[in-house]
Amino acid sequence: MPDIFVNYRTTDEDTGAALIERELSRRFGSERVFRASKSIKVGRRFPQELLTAVRRSSVLVAVIGERWADARTPDGRRALDDPEDWTRREIVEAFESGALVVPVLIGRATRLNRRDLPPELAELADCQYRRLDTRNADADLARIGDDLAEALPRLAEAERQIACEEAAAGNVSHRADRFEGWGGADQ
């Protein structure tokens, strides 16, 4: 069951979404992070898979690039105004299920404005965001992970467990140093 759902628009920041998902999966475990193209198995019905994953997740990370709000449907309407737009549906579902919603602004994307969003998404503009810039990618990704671990203590526990398993297997990494004294495998 995923704890984190990575929401993104494929025509906007799918690379940023993949980078965030990869780092969060490394830190907390792949099974704890849902990104549609990674997590939905072949032949599965994606509408049900997406909605189930959003409902079961405690956090939705909304990856927002410069083109996120301006994406268009095939008939030329703004995608965010279409109730069938999956990016919109996932965020609305996260709000309705009580998940923590964390906008991550990529590159030069600017903070969202309530007036520019449909009423069902206006709340997204009020959520404290984080930023991911390629110039500071390592630090920005670390901050996002740290914030999520603080907001969801079971993520911090999962990260500690991974570090202990790596240390026990002899795959000592820089991660193990963060958890020294936390009751490692030999204590």
The residue whose two tokens read 């590159």 is 107
pLDDT of residue 73: 93
> 162 with 29: CB under 8 angstroms?
yes
105: Cβ contacts below 8 Å, ≥ 6 apart = 64, 65, 111, 129, 130, 131, 132
The pLDDT, as a whole number, for residue 174 is 55
13-34 mean pLDDT: 94
What mean pLDDT comes out for the span 26-44? 89
Q: Which residues of 53-86 are buried (b: 16+ CB within 10 A; e: fewer)?
A: bbeebbbbbbbbbeebbebeeeeeeebbebeebb
pLDDT at residue 46, as a whole number? 82
On the question of pLDDT at 11 being above 60, the answer is yes
The pLDDT tens digits of the residues spanning 43-78 come to 888 888 899 999 999 999 999 999 999 999 999 999
Three-class SS state of 61: strand
